């Protein structure tokens, strides 16, 4: 156990070092890119720095698989270069024993990935987007060029602006009957969610039937909808930035309303597979050290690890997009690259033995 802890500590230290270096590099590139928007509204240097700080959990989450592979190769490579692995093997320590220490690191990184992806990243990224939007536009709400459209049963809803506290502005509700005929159009200046239902303010309702259109104006009206502020936040935040439970709720809502769910299902399965991808990257480091590259210098191993890590990242992203375009099952599109690289690692490890 002492040796396993020592190996695990060495790999974790190297992984943290690699992650910090990559994080610094990508943050600097993000900083250069954000300078193009400097001066737009109130988007100044302090806002850019705070935005980048809030974006770090996202970057760490994205870079973790590559950092896991490079850190593991670097850590084990350092032990090999100092002949510590040779001494262990000479003392009767098997590759399987060393692999257990590596998998201990994989388990730690898996938990770190879950913490980043499900706890820190969603909150930080939503705050980063809200900060950037507020600084650039001078308003705290999220708004797109055409607003936001949602479907709720036979109702089609258009929302011009979503505020960070869950309030809506500029709501239009189009109600259809079972024969798909438009029967009522409701306009409201704002809406607030209270007691599991929406309260509309400054409402104008136009009821349509065979006799014509009847218009009435009311100060307040109730709007019963399955939508809630959490679901609408999903619309303004990219699916990859959302926690798993939010994605599940929204996928269930979309299915009930017979809407396309592939994008959100793919995001869900990608988040499930991402911690496992980090573990697989760590596992791949063992064949690098004891396999064909065992006599190569550390630089060559790091280069090979970098190429494999980048290759995995590109293949994973490309296959997911291809799967989305061609209708591949979301769980398969998200998991196949990880499964293939895990199989590659197992095949390489068997050759070492």
pLDDT tens track, the chain, 353 positions:
788 888 889 989 999 999 999 999 999 999 999 988 888 878 889 999 999 999 999 899 989 988 888 888 888 888 877 878 778 877 888 777 888 888 888 888 889 988 888 888 888 887 887 788 778 765 555 555 556 777 777 788 888 877 766 678 888 989 888 888 888 899 999 888 887 788 899 899 888 888 788 888 888 888 877 777 666 656 666 676 777 877 787 788 777 767 778 888 888 888 888 888 888 888 888 777 776 555 566 667 667 777 887 888 889 889 988 888 888 888 899 999 999 998 988 888 777 65
Query: Is residue 281 in a domain?
Result: yes
269 and 312 share a domain?
yes
The angle at the Cα of 212, spanning 208 to 216, to the nearest 5 degrees, equals 60
45 and 132 share a domain?
yes
Could you tell me which residues come within 8 angstroms of residue 212 by beta carbon, excluding any fewer than 6 positions away?
Answer: none
Nearest Cα to Cα of residue 323 among 314, 334, 315: 334
Query: Is residue 249 in a domain?
Result: no
What three-state secondary structure class fits 344? Answer: helix
133 and 173 share a domain?
no
Domain end among 196, 225, 254: 225
| pLDDT at position 52 | 93
Nearest Cα to Cα of residue 3 among 114, 122, 102: 102
269 and 201 share a domain?
no
Query: Is residue 257 in a domain?
Result: no
15 and 110 share a domain?
yes
Domain end among 202, 225, 248: 225
Residue 102: count other Cβ atoms within 10 Å of its Cβ: 24
| pLDDT at position 231 | 66
112 and 35 share a domain?
yes
CA pair distance 123, 215, nearest whole angstrom: 42
- Kindly give the pairing relationship between strand 168-176 and strand 212-223: unpaired
Structure tokens at 304: 């090979």
211 and 289 share a domain?
no
CA pair distance 87, 79, nearest whole angstrom: 10
Bridge partners of 213, per DSSP, are 208
96 and 199 share a domain?
no
Q: What is the maximum span of the chain, computed from C-alpha positions, in angstroms? A: 94
Bridge partners of 208, per DSSP, are 213
Query: Is residue 202 in a domain?
Result: yes
CA pair distance 151, 157, nearest whole angstrom: 6
CA pair distance 14, 76, nearest whole angstrom: 9
37 and 81 share a domain?
yes
Residue 7: count other Cβ atoms within 10 Å of its Cβ: 25
Query: Is residue 311 in a domain?
Result: yes
Q: What share of the chain is helix, strand, coil (3-state, %, to 5)?
A: 65, 15, 20
Query: Is residue 164 in a domain?
Result: yes
Structure tokens at 310: 């980048």
204 and 66 share a domain?
no
The rounded Cα 236 to chain-centroid distance in angstroms is: 14
109 and 10 share a domain?
yes
The angle at the Cα of 164, spanning 48 to 263, to the nearest 5 degrees, equals 85
Query: Is residue 103 in a domain?
Result: yes
CA pair distance 120, 240, nearest whole angstrom: 13
Tokens 């299902």 belong to 265
334 and 190 share a domain?
no
Query: Is residue 236 in a domain?
Result: no
CA pair distance 184, 155, nearest whole angstrom: 9
Structure tokens at 332: 């398969």
| pLDDT at position 219 | 87
Residue 205: count other Cβ atoms within 10 Å of its Cβ: 18
Number of independent structural domains in the chain: 2
Residue-number span of the structural domain to which 36 is assigned: 2-138+263-352
């Amino acid at each position: 156990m002492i040796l396993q802890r020592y190996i695990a500590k060495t790999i974790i230290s190297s992984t943290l070092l690699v992650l910090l270096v990559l994080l610094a590099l990508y943050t600097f590139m993000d900083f250069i890119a954000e300078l193009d928007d400097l001066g737009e509204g109130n988007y100044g240097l302090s806002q850019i720095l705070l935005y980048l700080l809030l974006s770090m959990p996202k970057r760490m989450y994205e870079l973790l698989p590559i950092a896991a592979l490079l850190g593991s190769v670097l850590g084990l490579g350092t032990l090999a270069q100092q002949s510590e692995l040779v001494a262990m093997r000479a003392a009767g320590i098997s590759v399987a024993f060393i692999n257990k220490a590596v998998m201990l690191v994989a388990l730690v990184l898996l938990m770190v990935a879950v913490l980043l992806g499900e706890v820190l990243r969603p909150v930080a990224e939503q705050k980063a987007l809200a900060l950037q939007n507020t600084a650039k536009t001078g308003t705290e709400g999220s708004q797109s060029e055409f607003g936001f459209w949602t479907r709720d049963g036979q109702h089609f809803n258009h929302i011009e602006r979503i505020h960070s506290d869950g309030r809506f502005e500029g709501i239009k509700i189009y109600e259809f009957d079972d024969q798909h005929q438009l029967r009522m159009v409701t306009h409201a200046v704002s809406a607030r969610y209270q007691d599991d239902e929406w309260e509309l303010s400054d409402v104008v309702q136009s009821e349509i039937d065979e006799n014509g259109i009847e218009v009435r104006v009311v100060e307040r009206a109730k709007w019963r909808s399955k939508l809630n502020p959490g679901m609408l936040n999903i619309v303004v935040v990219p699916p990859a930035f959302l926690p798993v439970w939010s994605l599940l709720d929204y996928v269930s809502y979309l299915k009930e309303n017979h809407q396309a769910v592939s994008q959100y299902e793919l995001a869900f399965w990608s988040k499930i597979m991402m911690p496992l991808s980090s573990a697989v990257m760590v596992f791949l480091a063992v064949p690098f050290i004891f396999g064909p590259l065992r006599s190569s210098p550390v630089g060559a191993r790091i280069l090979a690890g970098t190429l494999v890590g980048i290759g995995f990242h590109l293949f994973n992203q490309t296959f997911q997009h291809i799967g989305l375009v061609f209708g591949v099952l979301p769980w398969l599109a998200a998991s196949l690259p990880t499964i293939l690289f895990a199989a590659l690692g197992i095949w390489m490890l068997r050759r070492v033995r």
